[in-house]
Homo-oligomer: A and B are copies of this chain.
Amino acid sequence: MAVPNVVIVGGGFGGLDAARALAGAPVRVTLLDRHNHHVFQPLLYQVATASLSPGDIASPIRWILRRQQNVEVLLANVHAIDPVAKRVEIDAGDAIAYEYLIVATGATHSYFGHDDWAARAPGLKTLDDALAMRRRMLMAFEAAEREPDPAKQKRLLTFVIVGGGPTGVELAGALAEIARQSLRQDFRRIHPESARIVLLEGSPHVLVNFHDPLRDAARHALERLGVEVRTGSIVTQVDADGVLWRPAPRPGSGEASAGPDASAERISADTVLWAAGVAASPIAKSLGVRLDRIGRVPAEPTLAVPGHPEIFVAGDICALEQDGAWLPGVAQVAMQEGAHAARNILRAIGGNPLAPFRYRDYGIMATIGRGSAVGEIFGLKISGFFAWLFWIFLHIFWLIGFRNRFVVMTEWAWAYVTYQRRVRLITGDRAEG
């Protein structure tokens, strides 16, 4: 009998843990990703804010799985899944047949229907996004140094971050530190510490997935760093001059929630960073099932796609309720789902019934600049310096590869002592003007 073949689409947390759960199993595994590397997404904002290099938080997927002999890794863009022919369509008209499929392609930014905002307000999902964000941010300080007009200079030194989830909070905190500390000595005409950093969040709280005292702790830590935190603020426009925002409508008031209008207020800002909307990877559409509002696949409790017991979803592309709430789009959920999907495939191959998935929540954390974090670990709420130390250790030991752990630890220790951001390099596009 031929060895069954399992195709995994996506080399993020979900896909990688799915592949690992199949180690030693009598299956042939093909893992497809459009990048050659796995990115440790929780630290992506540190690349964007010039604390870490891309190489510190990413490893080639082939290298991670090099010892697992039943896995083949292919660098490929997956255009569509054909669930009838049981094939994955990749570049140049090629296709890869599967017997079992795990789709773990994650999520992308969503601009709430305003895709034209994307060019003005970059988001943060890939290493290239992080390098583009870093370039944008550092170029603003460079342009301000050269700008004689005080109004334009002020606009160049205004940074707006849209979205008060962990990514937005971490970006705002890091950006405030860059302006107040890292760049202090570097310029002659501008005072980077006078930069204005605004965090806009539509809901009444930052870190809305966290519990109450932690939300407040995060807000206060941001305000201590000089970040203007504006909760209950809906962005209605992103344009060449900055953003328009207005107060969020009261629940149930029936007001429309988007579109520029008279009550909107303008913030003139050269740099707008997007940490707000999320939409599941568009590959979900080709599965032929009804998707939820943000494009996710409503999975069976077994993580199988309805009507397709041979296709499983894991991570941000998977919509699953547990105890009356949707599972959040975090790494831990993706990892556990990936491994569970893989084990269910082994159950199916062995002729056993599939098991339902149950997420074990070990906790969530977010840092706010240097020396401060908030978190809920095993139900325990922690904040401040101790939380930050815990966050550091947790993330270092979670990183893939001993070398990465060691280097990142060294980087952090160095940055902590010197306030320096070592990788303030503008690469990619040339200086624009």
Interface residues of chain A, those whose CB is within 8 Å of chain B, are 34-37, 53-56, 58-60, 62-63, 66-67, 72-77, 91-92, 94, 127-128, 131, 138-139, 142, 145-146, 185-189, 401, 403-404, 406-407, 410-411, 414, 418, 420, 422-428, 430-433
Contact = CB atoms under 8 A, between A and B. Distances in A.
A427 B54 contact: yes
Nearest to A51: B55
A346 to B, nearest CB: 21
Contacts of A186: 60, 62-63, 66, 73
Contacts of A56: 53
Contacts of A428: 128, 428
27 contacts: A35-B426, A35-B431, A36-B138, A36-B142, A36-B425, A36-B426, A53-B54, A53-B56, A54-B425, A54-B427, A55-B425, A58-B425, A59-B422, A60-B186, A62-B186, A62-B187, A66-B185, A73-B188, A76-B431, A91-B432, A127-B427, A403-B414, A403-B420, A404-B422, A407-B407, A410-B410, A428-B428
A22 to B, nearest CB: 15
Contacts of A423: 53-55
Given A60-B425, A128-B427, 11 more contacts: A36-B425, A36-B426, A37-B426, A62-B186, A66-B186, A75-B139, A75-B431, A91-B432, A91-B433, A127-B427, A403-B422
Contacts of A426: 35-37, 75
A427 B131 contact: yes
B63 A425 contact: no
A123 to B, nearest CB: 16
A179 to B, nearest CB: 14
Contacts of A430: 34, 77
Contacts of A128: 427-428
A275 to B, nearest CB: 21
Contacts of A422: 55, 59, 401, 403-404
Contact of A407 (B76, B188, B410, B433): B410
Most buried by B among A91, A142, A425, A433: A425
Nearest to A402: B414
A398 B60 CA distance: 30
Contacts of A34: 430-431
A120 to B, nearest CB: 21
A37 B422 CA distance: 11
A66 B55 CA distance: 27
Most buried by B among A36, A55, A127, A425: A55
A430 B146 CA distance: 34
B67 A424 contact: no
Contacts of A401: 422
A57 to B, nearest CB: 10
A74 B145 contact: yes
A67 to B, nearest CB: 7
A51 B188 CA distance: 35
